[in-house]
């Protein structure tokens, strides 16, 4: 196998996601700046937008961790963030013009999310599975665009005429938002700022299933290597993060935890053995099938025995904290693995 397990396309998606995260932080900062300048009926609308943007930052961070590859945004994105932040703090723009810039930023964020979904369709089903929560952000950003357009009209009329715009404006805006909410369905109804721990684990389990299917169903050595690289990273990091966060928390409530630890360590050892093989090796897929069976057995036991313990023995807030800690552990492990891959490349 090659020294690095991340291919160019997947790294490009990771860079796009990092850019979205940088822009999401800018959106939150601009929300807060505009809140200080707005009054009347517009203020509570922007306050709600700020709360949704903060929630969507958490969802975006989850997407990045579930995707499995950490990256930095492009230099152009970082420069854009600095420039726009400075412009929004200055007095060079009127309030209506600042809201207009905010709407353009929302549009950029929406289109980036949609493009990432299209790219994922070309790269692999596992990528589509990992970034599914982006739908929530995309639909809410489209709704926010409609709200901001209404604000631009109201503020623009007020700044140029000294009078308020016609009262039917917000009814039109609300109709557009309702239509978008109808399209989004349940995706837009999440109220927590953290995806529950059981849902995070299920996302990982489903993604692993997809990767096993892609490997076993492909005859292209390059694609197999790409899929295995992601599988190796995802399953190894998932298991190590569970050993750091999940298993110690559940252990007082589950007598068979030593068996779960052994299963996890065994799967990681099997993956390490396969990592040394070439995808064209006649034993490669046979060993992948053995790992798939071991992973599925482990997952079945986890979902059957541990998931009920999480539900019955942990409060809602404790489950949210487990999810936060699990994501943090995965992120740290992903960064460590990327650093090790980089060292391996330099030593070749």
Q: How far is CA 287 from CA 85, 147, 230, 265, 296, in A?
A: 52, 54, 16, 16, 14
Give the span between the Cα atoms of 220 and 217, in whole angstroms. Answer: 9
The whole-model pTM stands at 0.80
CB contact at 8 A, 147 and 49: yes
pLDDT tens-digit series, residues 87-139: 999 999 999 999 999 999 999 999 999 999 888 888 888 888 888 888 888 88
Residue 303 makes CB contacts below 8 A (sequence gap 6+) with: 201, 202, 205
**DSSP 8-state code for residue 166:** P
- Please state, rounded to an integer, the average pLDDT across all residues of the chain: 86
Contact 325, 201 (CB under 8 A): no
What are the tens digits of pLDDT across the range 177-221? 554 444 444 443 445 567 789 988 999 999 999 999 999 999 999
- Residue 144 three-state SS: helix
CA atoms within 13 A on the CB side of 110: 15
Q: Is 150 a residue whose pLDDT tops 60? A: yes
Say how far apart CA 97 and CA 92 lie, in whole Å: 9
| Sequence-ordered list of residues with C-beta below 8 angstroms from that of 199, at least 6 positions apart, any chain | none
Whose CA is closest to 280, among 333, 324, 220? 220
pLDDT of residue 6: 53
Contact yes or no for 100/204 (Cβ under 8 A): no
Q: Which CATH number fits domain 8-189: 3.40.50, 1.10.3470, 1.20.1260, 3.90.1570?
A: 1.20.1260
- Write down the domain spans for the chain: 8-189, 197-347
């Amino acid at each position: 196998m090659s020294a690095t397990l991340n291919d160019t396309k997947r790294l490009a998606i990771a860079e796009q996601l990092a850019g979205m995260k940088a822009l999401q932080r800018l959106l939150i900062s601009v929300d807060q700046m505009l809140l200080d300048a707005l009054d009347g009926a517009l203020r509570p609308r922007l306050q709600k937008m700020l709360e949704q943007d903060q929630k969507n930052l958490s969802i975006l961070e989850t997407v990045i961790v579930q995707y499995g590859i950490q990256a930095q945004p492009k230099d152009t994105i970082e420069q854009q963030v600095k420039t726009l932040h400075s412009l929004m703090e200055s007095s060079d723009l009127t309030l209506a013009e600042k809201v207009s810039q905010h709407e353009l930023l929302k549009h950029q964020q929406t289109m980036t999310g949609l493009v990432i979904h299209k790219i994922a369709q070309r790269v692999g089903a596992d990528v589509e599975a990992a970034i599914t929560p982006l739908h929530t952000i995309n639909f809410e950003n489209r709704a926010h665009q409609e709200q901001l357009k209404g604000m631009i009209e109201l503020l623009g009329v007020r700044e140029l005429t000294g009078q308020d715009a016609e009262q039917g404006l917000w009814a039109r805006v609300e109709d557009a938002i309702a239509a978008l909410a109808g399209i989004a369905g349940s995706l837009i109804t999440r109220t927590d700022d953290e995806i529950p721990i059981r849902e995070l684990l299920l996302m990982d389990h489903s993604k692993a299933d997809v990767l096993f299917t892609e490997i076993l169903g492909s005859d292209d050595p390059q694609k197999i290597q790409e899929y295995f690289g992601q599988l190796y990273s995802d399953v190894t990091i998932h298991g190590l993060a569970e050993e750091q966060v999940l298993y110690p928390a559940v252990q007082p409530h589950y007598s068979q935890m030593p068996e779960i630890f052994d299963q996890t360590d065994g799967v990681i050892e099997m993956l390490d053995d396969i990592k040394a093989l070439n995808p064209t090796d006649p034993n490669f897929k046979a060993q992948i099938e053995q790992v798939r069976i071991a992973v599925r057995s482990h997952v079945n036991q986890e979902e059957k025995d541990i998931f009920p313990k999480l539900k019955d023995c942990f409060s809602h807030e404790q489950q949210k904290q487990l999810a936060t800690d699990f994501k943090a552990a995965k992120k740290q492990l992903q960064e460590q693995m990327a650093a090790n891959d980089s060292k391996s490349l330099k030593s070749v």
